Structure 1
Amino acid sequence: MAREHIQVLRKMLQSDRGVILPGAPNALAARVVADLGFSAVYLTGAGLTNTLLGLPDLGFLDLSQVTEHTMAIRGVVDLPLVVDADTGFGNALNVSHTVRALERAGASAVQLEDQCAPKRCGHFDGKELIVADEMVSKIKAAVDSRREDVVVIARTDACAVEGFEAAIERAGRYIDAGADMTFVEAPNSLEELKEIPKRLRAPQLLNIVLGGKTPIVDRKSCEDMGYSFVLYANAALQGMLLGMRTALRTLREKGVLDERDSCIASFAERQRLVGKEEFDEMARSYAHLSIT
């Protein structure tokens, strides 16, 4: 598999600021992200847990499920793909295996976090952290294990557990361990948002959670503050939920639904997004061949 997507991502980290990074819980959502012209896509662990299992983001995913969905997304989009790998599914040895598996599956970046297992959504209460030394070892294992220079993103959830200063200290140590980018989760104020890129020398990712603990700021403000990526991990998922509820409520109330209703996409649009015409062309190209 060609690895240009990794180098494209690395160039973005070197030169770009304020890049919107939409989350996709599955390959169809990733196609929509690409179709709308975004520069990169994020496989969201919370969104995958919600859509695949119908469960909250409380550490229910395993590596095989994340790997399968990484492969599915890589099979249909060429964009740089950032993969949420939660805690790496274990200790440093497990992290080594996780990074190699996701790299082979087509990840451009692997994101790891410093919570204890089972992890929790970064905007839930009750999070617990592993000691910083253990996370440093996991970051080093990730860096040492990669074969294709996949980007390593280190997330710390220390703001909610140990405070902002501890989060900055942890992120700095993760950079020293070799992380290419850090992600300080759930800062609570605009002042903290401004401080993070100033005090950490690696590229930074800001996670905007709709309904979460972090202040909502626009893309230009994030660019001015110095953030490389602005993550909207589950905006698409929350939009999907509203769309499904609207369409199905209309069906329940009217007893009928067709394409003239404004609450649904057309049949033709659905086929376009999944690339049906490409397969039709392929079928036509082989139709004249006979098997002997």
Structure 2
Amino acid sequence: MTQAAKLRHLLQQDQCHIMPCCFDALSAKLIAQEGYALTFMSGFGASASRIGAPDLGLMSYGEVIDQARNIAGAVDIPLIGDGDTGYGNAMNVRRTVEGFARAGCAAVMIEDQLAPKRCGHTPGKAVVGRDEAFDRIRAAVDAREDLRANGGDILILARTDARHDHGLGEAIARAEKFAEIGADILFVEAPRSEEEMREICSAVPLPQMANIVEGGETPDLPNAVLQDIGYSIAAYPLSLMAAAMQAMVTCLRSMQSDERPGRMDFAELRQRIGFDDYYSESEKYATSKR
């Protein structure tokens, strides 16, 4: 079963899947080890971890694809890639979708922000006009169909940030059109109440993704409530990165005082990274024992 087929199977289930978002291959591996069914390459996290810079459109297409390829190669659960605005016009969107498919992603997100894009819960974001937004998704769907015709596969996650400047009605209208064009999953970013979230999910009968940013504009609701509202995926884009950064800062400050804070022991660290699997597998080959 392809990763895209695995994702379709998950979306057919009557369940809101909790989806911690990764930022590199190791964080994705930990997500898979803890039994989560899917993950998403957070643009916020990937930009921070790869180039040490904010998610403001600074990472190039090539850097993003390389990051996605490394992550997809480390896990066997579906990975959704962040394709941002598609990196140009409709023809660039097609290339972006094809690139994420070749990298091993089960789905790619394409959004309607004005380039350079911004994190959906930070100031200064704006969206393109309807025609350009619809062209992006139309190009993404066309690329998906061409991939299928040639033995490939990927799902299209269509995102709109129109709620911020144009209101919920415009955001829902765009989502409805994205569904009509042929998107597989919808993502209306930054609804501001449970009532808005329910309106979004009731408007379009497609799998919907909620984006839960701790301290962001969208209510951080329990998973059971998100499922009742109608969401198929609950993404947590910053939870792992925030926890990892806090742990590293705590460790660094403790070391300055010549303390040794609690941390994962060396044996578990080796096991989770894959040393034990490597040594076990290498036993089959005589030259690897030297």
Alpha carbons 2:106, 2:154 under 8 Å: kept:
yes
Within 5 Å, give how 1:162-201 maps onto structure 2. 162-201=166-205
| TM-score normalised by length of structure 2 | 0.94
Structure 1 residue 256 displacement after superposition: 4.6
> Is 1:280 aligned to residue 284 of structure 2?
no
Amino acid in structure 2 at the alignment position of 1:140: R
User: What's the secondary structure of 1:82's corresponding residue?
Assistant: strand
Deviations 1:203-255 (A, max 9, x none): 100000011111110100000111000000111000001110111111112x1
Which residue does 1:31 correspond to in 2?
A: 29
How many positions carry a matched residue from both structures? Answer: 283
Aligned to 2:250: 246
Counterpart of 1:4? 2
Distance 2:194 2:74 in 1: 37
Deviation at 1:40, TM superposition (A): 0.3
Aligned residue for 1:196, secondary structure, equals helix
Superposed CA RMSD in Å reads 1.5
Q: Which runs of 5+ in 2 are unaligned?
A: none
CA–CA distance in 2 between the matches of 1:275 and 1:289?
Answer: 16
Q: TM-score, normalised by structure 1?
A: 0.93
Within the alignment, does 1:96 sit opposite 2:100 as a pair?
Answer: no
Work out the CA distance in 2 between the residues paired with 1:200 and 1:289.
55
What one-letter code is carried by the residue in structure 2 that aligns with 1:231?
A
CA distance in 2, matches of 1:151, 1:16: 19
Q: Shift of residue 287 of structure 1?
A: 2.3
2:226 to 208, 213, 222: 222
Partner of 1:158: 162
Identify unmatched segments of 5+ residues in structure 1: none
| Residue of structure 2 aligned with 1:204, choices 193, 204, 208 | 208
Share of identical aligned residues, percent? 39
In structure 1, the residue matched to 2:61 is 63
Structure 2 equivalent of residue 117 of structure 1:
115
**In 2: Cα distance, 1:228 partner to 1:241 partner:** 29
Q: C-alpha deviations, 1:165-212, integer Å up to 9, x for none?
A: 110001111111111111000011121011111111211000000111
- Whole-Å separation in 2 of the counterparts to 1:66 and 1:208: 22
- Is 2:268 aligned against 1:269? yes
2:238 corresponds to which of 224, 234, 238: 234
> d(CA) in 1 for partners of 2:288 and 2:107?
42
Q: Does 269-278 or 94-103 show the bigger shift?
A: 269-278
- The amino acid of 1:161's aligned partner reads D
CA distance in 1, matches of 2:32, 2:197: 28
Q: 1:212 to 1:289 in 2, by over 3 A?
A: closer
